[in-house]
Each structure stands twice: as structure tokens, then as C-alpha cells.
Structure 1
Amino acid sequence: MYFPKHFILEELVDRMTFETKGETAWALFRDDALIMIDGIREFFGAPVRINNWHLGGQFQFRGYRPPDYQGGAKYSMHRLGGAFDMDVIGLTADQAREKIMINKDNPLLIKIMRMEHGVNWLHCDVRPLTEHQVRIWTFNP
């Protein structure tokens, strides 16, 4: 099991999941997804915000989303522990996506399979690509 170097569990799960599962919630994530977010943090050399509910902020469902979560797609990678919505501090989402695409073969970014475009946050996930998709595949919300 991989434990990220740059993120604590509270940044990756919602309050209820943290309170009910505690440290066992790490098992909800795919290792490649956790490696992915560490790589993004190291690539940009800047803080990356995912959830901030534990600091009094508004975000709690930008990482893992529990089965009873009412938003998002039914088969979202968020529900499978393989996707994160984030903000790279100091960059817009478009700027972050552009830098990732220009540098997509950088070893720190190699785990990113897909990105969502047309949104004001950076969504990256590790969903396996289909036969005709290329890394990094971009999709609409």
C-alpha cells in the first residue's frame, strides 16, 4: 500500500468516511492514484488543494466519493479511489492542464491517464484507456 508524501488522509476523503473508517480509509485508494497526486505536487513544486473540510473549508468530495454520494457520475473514478479534483496554488486549472500536456512524459506525470477539460479545477484520474484513447485523454464534464 502506498502512502503519499505530500497529502494527509483528511485531504483525500470526506468527513464521514474519515470519522467512520479512520486510517483504514487508505485502502479505498488505488496506489497509482496516490502516486499520481504526489507526482503532480512534485512536478509543480507548489501546494495542491484537494479537500479542505478539515481546515474549515468547503471541499470534502474532491477525492474519494462514498457509495451514497449523490453527485457526479455513477461509475466515476472518484468512487473507485482513482480520481482527484484539485487546485494547483498559483495556477488556473487551464494553466495546470496546459503544463501537464506539454510535459506529459515527465516521470512525475506518467500515472495521469485522463484529465477533464472545461472546468475550473484540475481533474486527473487513472482510469485505464480504451484501445483508441491516448494518454493523456481529455474528456468533457
Structure 2
Amino acid sequence: MRQTRDELIRELHEYFQISELVCDHTHSAWGERAWQFLDTDYLACLLVIRRDILKAPMTCNHAGAHQRGLRCNRCELVRTKGKVYLSSHVLGKAGDFTVDGMTAQEARSLIRNNAHLLPCPIRMEAGVTWLHFDVLPQYGIKQKVYEFTA
């Protein structure tokens, strides 16, 4: 049986603070209530990836990098776009992570090898030094774990 959203958030508190998963603007305005902006499928996959697959600390936002999770309209990465920007980050469906004790490629490999544990399909960005994963549905893609290049 799938966990409720409240159960997911309670369990994720063991591993993450909301300030790690949303930009500073969002956290300043909403505090703990900022959990409401993160997609439920994303939260479910985040929990499984952290707790059951990687089994290692994961860092999203940290000193000097505050736009690796949810990005709002005030974030520089969003404001400076000269075109429509509807990334999985602005939709609350993505995060960029560093995983303690392993490279991004090692983390992606572990996730691919344990895709059966994921509650829904995910996308991972290939060829980067961080672990980007999101739950943005892709029309026509049937794989449980789909790798893309930006």
C-alpha cells in the first residue's frame, strides 16, 4: 500500500529539512509549509531512493547552491531565461543531489539496477557530476528509469 502524503513527509524529515529541497525565496516565504509545493510522486521517489536504494546521505541545497531543488520565479536560474521555462524544478518535481560516498554515475547505476523499487517512473540526467532525478511524465516514454541529456 502506498503511503499518504503526510506519511511521506514525516518519514522524509528523518533525511531532509524542507530548506534543503526548496529555494531560499520559497523557504523564506513559506517555511515548513513549503512541503506543499513538492509533488507527491517526487517525494515518494525521493524517499525510496534515499532510504532503500542509495542508503547514503544526499545533499540538495547547500551553502552556495540554493537552486538545486524547487526553483521559484525569483531564482536567478529562472529569471534569466529568455524563453518559457517550465522545468521539472519549477514544477516541484525535481532535485539535483550529491550523494555521500559515491559518484553521480554510481548513484544512477544503483537506481537503474533497483528500478523495481520505485513507485513511479523517473527521469535522470546523464553525463553530469550530480544526481538529477525528476518525475516529469514524458509522452511516449515507457521505461521506469529514463536517462536524458539536457
Fold shared by both chains (TM-score > 0.5):
yes
* 2:47 aligned partner: 38
* CA apart distance, 1:102: 1.6
What is the CA deviation profile of residues 37-67 of structure 1, one whole-angstrom value per residue up to 9, with x for unaligned ones? 1111112111011112xxxx12211110002
Structure 2 counterpart of 1:134:
143
Q: 2:87 aligned with 1:76, yes or no?
A: yes
Q: Equivalents in 1 of 2:142, 2:74: separation in Å?
A: 30
Percent identical among aligned pairs is 34
Shift of 1:24: 2.1
| Consecutive unaligned residues in structure 2, runs of 5 or more | none
Separation in structure 1 between the aligned mates of residue 18 and residue 72 of structure 2, nearest angstrom: 15
Q: Distance in 1 between matches of 2:104 and 2:119?
A: 19
Residue 106 of structure 2 corresponds to 95
**Equivalent position amino acid for 1:70 in 2:** E
**SS of the residue aligned with 1:71?**
helix
The structural deviation recorded for 1:115 is 0.5
Find the partner of 1:66 among 72, 78, 88.
72
Q: Distance in 1 between matches of 2:71 and 2:110?
A: 27
Extract unaligned runs of 5+ from structure 1.
none
The 2-side partners of 1:21 and 1:63 are apart by 15
The CA deviation string for residues 14-34 of structure 1, in whole angstroms up to 9 with x for no partner, is 222111122221111111111
Secondary structure, in 3 states, of the residue corresponding to 1:91? Answer: coil
Count, aligned residues? 135
Q: Aligned equivalents of 2:19 and 2:76: distance in 1?
A: 20
